[in-house]
Amino acid sequence: MKKLLSVLFIFLAIFSLAACKPQATEPVETEEPTAEVNNGQRIDFGDTFTQKSKITVWIDDEAGEYMTAVIAEFNKLYPNIVVEHQHYGSVDAREMLKTFGPSGNGADVFQFPHDHLAQAVLEDLVYPLPAATKTKLQARAHELGLSIATLTYDEGAKSFNPSSPNAVEGLYAVPMSIESVGLFYNTDLITTPATTYEALLAAAATWNAAPAADNAVGDTRTNAQKGYFYLGTSSHWGDSYFNQHIYSAFGFYPFGPTLDDPSAVGFANAVPALTWMVNTLKPAVTGTGAHNSVTAGANFELGKIPYIIAGPWNHEAYQKSATLNYAVAPMPTINGNATRTFAGAMMAAVYKYSENKEDAIKFVEFLNSDIAMELQYEYKGKLPALKTELLENIEGVNEDTLLMAMAAQLETSVPMPTIPQVTYYWGPGETMIIQVWNNAVAPATAAATAEASYRTSAGLGEGN
């Protein structure tokens, strides 16, 4: 038995040694590493190693389609700048930036209407753009838009008085679109629009006295009796913004000829215009009614009246009307004098305390480019704030008769005042017209009261 076990162990040992013996392998050829041939080509690792930066922009674009398109085009030029868009209404952005800016949660770029600019500068929200940006815009931007975006400001004294010791003229925003009111007319009722107020008001007398076209059998009411006055306004007759075209024909410009002297509005210069308005205009547009007694906007939209003074913001509603075909003409002259409307603008600025001003400046400059302006027209239908000769670069604009009519009006418009004291102009100005229109107050008396009210509100005290 022992002998048998010994033989068994010997066989196991031999088997184990055979299993541990290394097996023969075929030799494997190895290739020598070869250096990659560059052939003189430059390898760009910029996209790999360049850190992306980020800016936040607040633009009025609730659907977001417009800004998505703009950002996509911007990133073709600046692929390493990430742009985050947040929708805020243009009239809300300034207040929102005052609230969220100091905590770092504001915008690097924000949008606002022209009449917010001076106040935004006073509130330390706007970064003055560099001279290079101004030079670029001078070659492309509409002159009125550029004028509205340019202020003379003494930061230490917080004064917009050009004579202030340290006042410096600067460009504070990029104008995006520009606008003005115009004379809208129903093309089913008017073939050739009036070019003078004299002709318009003569036709108004005939229209107002005629029976209304929609009278039922037995109804003999005239157009005037039904409130279908020949000419209306989409605002009301106490609105100084709408009435500036009338004021200008009589030589009245608030805050002086250059519209930037806060020491006085100069309401006394409005007396001739007020006299014409109450004696000549009022009978034709409200009869014996108050300044706001006629719902002209609805009447025009329904095709009931021939004319209305309106702005580009009214196009959307008017174009949707199934009962209205219309066009736009320049404002008619008064006594042979041109009627110069206020020009307004929508603009974009860089936040003064942005941590990425360099990229924010690139973005606002891009908003003045042809492609950005083309997208603004495509998505928003607004008139680009470009020089007239550059509009041909924006597809569709020159063929848009409604916008081209406004562009023609803007050729004689004046920039709306942007000094902060303009805030104190509108209230006294409206009250002045209402007193004359509704309450038979003498124009000179109403003008003196308005000037005193302005001086009190503006903190100027008593004055002549």
Is residue 112 in a domain? Answer: yes
**Average pLDDT across the chain, whole number:** 90
Q: Do 442 and 312 have their domain in common?
A: yes
Task: Answer yes or no: is pLDDT of 18 > 80.
Answer: no
Task: Answer yes or no: is pLDDT of 260 > 90.
Answer: no
Q: Do 431 and 398 have their domain in common?
A: no
Q: Of the ranges 80-89, 122-131, 158-167, which one carries the lowest mean pLDDT score?
A: 158-167
124: domain CATH number?
3.40.190.10
If 0-12 CB within 10 Å is exposed, 13-18 middle and 19+ buried, where does residue 131 land? exposed
Q: Do 325 and 357 have their domain in common?
A: no
Q: Do 174 and 98 have their domain in common?
A: yes
Q: Do 211 and 135 have their domain in common?
A: no
pLDDT grade for 462, boundaries at 50, 70 and 90? low
Q: Which two tokens stand for residue 323?
A: 């009962």
Query: What are the counts of helices (DSSP H) followed by strands (DSSP E) for the chain?
Result: 18, 12
pLDDT in tens, 203-252: 999 999 999 999 999 999 999 999 999 999 999 999 999 999 999 999 99
Domain range enclosing 369 = 51-179+344-415
Task: Answer yes or no: is pLDDT of 110 > 70.
Answer: yes
Evaluate if pTM is beyond 0.75.
Answer: yes
pLDDT in tens, 392-409: 999 999 999 999 999 999
Is residue 234 in a domain? Answer: yes
CA proximity to 446, closest of 437, 456, 436: 436
pLDDT grade for 347, boundaries at 50, 70 and 90? very high
Q: Do 120 and 85 have their domain in common?
A: yes
What pLDDT score was predicted for residue 25?
A: 46
pLDDT in tens, 304-338: 999 999 999 999 899 999 999 999 999 999 999 99
Q: Do 314 and 445 have their domain in common?
A: yes
Summarize the confidence of residues 33-61 as an average pLDDT: 69
If 0-12 CB within 10 Å is exposed, 13-18 middle and 19+ buried, where does residue 267 land? buried
Is residue 16 in a domain? Answer: no
What pLDDT score was predicted for residue 29?
A: 52
Q: Do 99 and 171 have their domain in common?
A: yes
Summarize the confidence of residues 60-68 as an average pLDDT: 95
pLDDT grade for 272, boundaries at 50, 70 and 90? very high
Is residue 72 in a domain? Answer: yes
Q: Do 256 and 404 have their domain in common?
A: no
Is residue 23 in a domain? Answer: no
Q: Do 331 and 404 have their domain in common?
A: no
For residue 439, what is the enclosing H or E element?
helix 426-439
pLDDT grade for 463, boundaries at 50, 70 and 90? low
Give dist(CA 454, CA 426) in Å, integer. 9
Is residue 43 in a domain? Answer: no
Is residue 171 in a domain? Answer: yes
Q: Do 129 and 149 have their domain in common?
A: yes
What pLDDT score was predicted for residue 46?
A: 52
The domain total for the chain is 2
In the sheet that 326-329 helps form, which strands lie side by side, from edge to edge? Answer: 231-233, 307-310, 182-186, 326-329
Is residue 285 in a domain? Answer: yes
Q: Do 249 and 377 have their domain in common?
A: no
Summarize the confidence of residues 443-451 as an average pLDDT: 98
Task: Answer yes or no: is pLDDT of 4 > 50.
Answer: no
